[in-house]
Structure 1
Amino acid sequence: MDIRYFIGVDVSKATLDWAVFDGKTIVLQAQSVNSPAAIRATVKLMKALPGFTVIESVGCLEHTGIYCAHLLSSLYKLKLPIWLESSLQIKKAGGLQRGKSDTIDAIRIAQYAFRFRDKMCLWHPPRPILQY
């Protein structure tokens, strides 16, 4: 799987902070409401990037429980590969860091995805029989 764009998403209850990393620089930063319509609009904004395709991208986000639900279902419907990672794993990989904001966290998640792309494990929804 050849990936050109690494999308870091910092998830909170009300908002999503997005950072798109191409391996050299952050090419897009955005903030959206945590709703399916806003997620689709943000992905549409990403598709305007030169050479951006869903197949050559991966969205990396921290597992935040129920707050991820809209994002996971929307990105899966848009066929964007999703990498759901433990927040502790991302924090430990970054070492000692100063400064914390949702925007900085999104950038760090995107850079984490690039750095550890060989350890990527894609998320798939549970089978329908397991959902209630």
Structure 2
Amino acid sequence: MKRYKYFIGIDVSKLTLDFAIMNVEKLIYHKKIANDDTAIASMLVELKEINGFKLSNSVFGMEHTGIYSNKILSILERKKANIVYENPTHIKNSLGNLRGKNDKLDSIRIATYLKKLKDDLRLWQGKRKIIQELASLVALRDRLARTKRALKTPLKEDHLFVSTKFAIQNEKFSSRTINALEADIHILD
């Protein structure tokens, strides 16, 4: 069982990352940075300036936020950091009913969650690149199929509720887009 000395809660959003750094006793500090490679690398250098801080005695935690977490996860994984990537509901439920919500509070709550469950944390294992690529392609195919349905469904209904002239006109204007979507879906299949 690893003995963690530092618990880093990260609230992830599209443009920013909020870091809350705690030791076993208290919150050391909070910092908001840009969600980009340069800012993340600088933050890791800054963390190493904390007395006694090492990646090996620290654990980073964040909630599932989809693609917005990819940069920080990738960098931490390359550095072989200890990472907990958890369902937001699980973190919320483990801490009880808490009031207030903002990025700083969320990062502190994630760090508190890590500290509270330090002996029972399940570390995240990154997916192999091929699995990530397949998941991305499946998601793209699903978006294309939904877009195609969103275009075709009203066209079918047009024949029932608008004049034939407008229905044919709408089909004509949509046909190239629908054909292109079908071609792209076929390639992905």
TM-score by length of 2: 0.67
> What is residue 53 of structure 1 aligned with on the other side?
54
Question: 1:9: Cα distance to partner?
Answer: 0.2
> What is residue 127 of structure 2 aligned with on the other side?
126
Which stretches in structure 2 are left out of the alignment for 5+ residues? 134-189
The CA distance in 2 between the partners of 1:91 and 1:36, in whole Å, is 28
Secondary structure class of the residue paired with 1:119:
coil
Question: 1:131: Cα distance to partner?
Answer: 3.1
TM-score by length of 1: 0.95
One-letter amino acid of the counterpart of residue 82, structure 1: I
The CA distance in 2 between the partners of 1:103 and 1:73, in whole Å, is 23
The number of aligned residues is 132
Higher strand share: 1
The CA distance in 2 between the partners of 1:89 and 1:2, in whole Å, is 22
The CA distance in 2 between the partners of 1:119 and 1:63, in whole Å, is 19
One-letter amino acid of the counterpart of residue 108, structure 1: R
Higher helix share: 2
Secondary structure class of the residue paired with 2:55:
coil
> What is residue 23 of structure 2 aligned with on the other side?
22
> What is residue 72 of structure 2 aligned with on the other side?
71
Question: 1:67: Cα distance to partner?
Answer: 0.7
One-letter amino acid of the counterpart of residue 14, structure 1: L
Question: 1:15: Cα distance to partner?
Answer: 0.3
Runs of 4+ in 1 over 3 A off after TM superposition: none
Question: 1:125: Cα distance to partner?
Answer: 1.4
Q: Does 1:6 align with 2:7?
A: yes
Pairing 1:91-106 to 2, within 5 Å after superposition: 91-106=92-107
Which stretches in structure 1 are left out of the alignment for 5+ residues? none
Question: 1:47: Cα distance to partner?
Answer: 0.6
| Greater RCO structure (CA 8 Å; 6+ sep) | 1
Name the larger-Rg structure: 2
Question: 1:112: Cα distance to partner?
Answer: 0.4
